[in-house]
Amino acid sequence: MMKIVIVKAEDVGKAAFEEVKKVLCEKPDCTLGLATGSSPLPLYREMIRAYKDGLSYRNVTTYNLDEYVGLPKTHDQSYYYFMHKNLFSEIDLPEENTHIPDGTAPDMEKECARYSALLSAAKIDLQVLGIGGNGHIAFNEPGTPFTSKTHTVTLTEKTVLDNARFFDKIEDVPRTAVTMGIGEILKAKKILLIATGKNKADAVYKMIKGPVDVSCPASSLRDHPDVTVVLDEQAAAKL
């Protein structure tokens, strides 16, 4: 079941936080799946605001979706750095409760197996997602089987171009990443996907109205029992 919530751009954070808050209030020791990118930032700002207003994340556990391969944790574009800067350092979530795939592991195959094992032992109560301009979720690019587990991927040219804006030059954008698989994402009890801006309108349309097919990884969510999609008016423009 997919619930679609369309709000003004400035209300995306609040609308998304409503979903997270329900889970946190019901289960203060819940497990959250977290995402990077510009889409979840308004949500993270609301999560920080709620912390300042007294909400605690002390007993929460988190698992992140993905990471670039080869970027050190100190690199300002690594997802490790992103999560610490934009959320973890601002709230009382203990560092040892956070998990992010390690893109600097010497043996990435082993690292994928390690992360997969962690995920199969965990039960994610709510998974936060963005969506790529080509319909990818995490770094599961078009063509990825819906049963996939944590794996390394070669990023598509479109994803490299989309992400180039964050790097000094396009050659600096990593070409490989490690990502939670679609099969693991679909195991979350609830899913919250956030998409904003006109660059997402096509992908959002395909996710909701197109065929359920590996050409649009996000369309896999249509088979999930509890998905909330929070969109601003631009991302919803083609629905």
Catalytic residues: 66, 134, 136, 141
**Applying CB under 6 A, which of residues 30, 47, 108, 131 lies at the interface with ligand GLP?**
131
Q: Are 192 and 228 in contact (CB under 8 A)?
A: yes
Least spacing, CB of residue 148 vs ligand GLP, in Å = 15
**Applying CB under 6 A, which of residues 65, 173, 203, 216 lies at the interface with ligand GLP?**
65
Specify the stretch interacting with ligand GLP by CB under 6 A; choose among 4-12, 29-37, 49-57, 222-230.
29-37
Specify the stretch interacting with ligand GLP by CB under 6 A; choose among 6-14, 16-24, 131-139, 213-221.
131-139
Q: Whose Cβ is closer to ligand GLP: residue 36's or residue 228's?
A: 36
Asked if 220 touches ligand GLP (CB under 6 A), the answer is no
Tell which residue, 38, 33, 13, has the closest CA to residue 162: 38
**Which residue do the tokens 């300002």 mark?**
76
Least spacing, CB of residue 136 vs ligand GLP, in Å = 6
**Applying CB under 6 A, which of residues 46, 66, 111, 232 lies at the interface with ligand GLP?**
66
DSSP string, 114-181: HHHHHHHH---SEEEE---TTS-BTTB-TT--TT--SEEEEPPHHHHHHHGGGSSSGGGS-SEEEE--
Show the binding pattern over residues 166-205: x = contacts ligand GLP (CB under 6 A), - = does not.
----------------------------------------
Q: Whose Cβ is closer to ligand GLP: residue 24's or residue 135's?
A: 135
Least spacing, CB of residue 85 vs ligand GLP, in Å = 15
**Helix axes of 41-52 and 12-26: crossing angle, nearest 10 degrees:** 50
Positive or negative CA dihedral for 227, 231, 235, 239?
positive
Q: Are 161 and 195 in contact (CB under 8 A)?
A: no
Give the DSSP letter of residue 85.
Answer: H
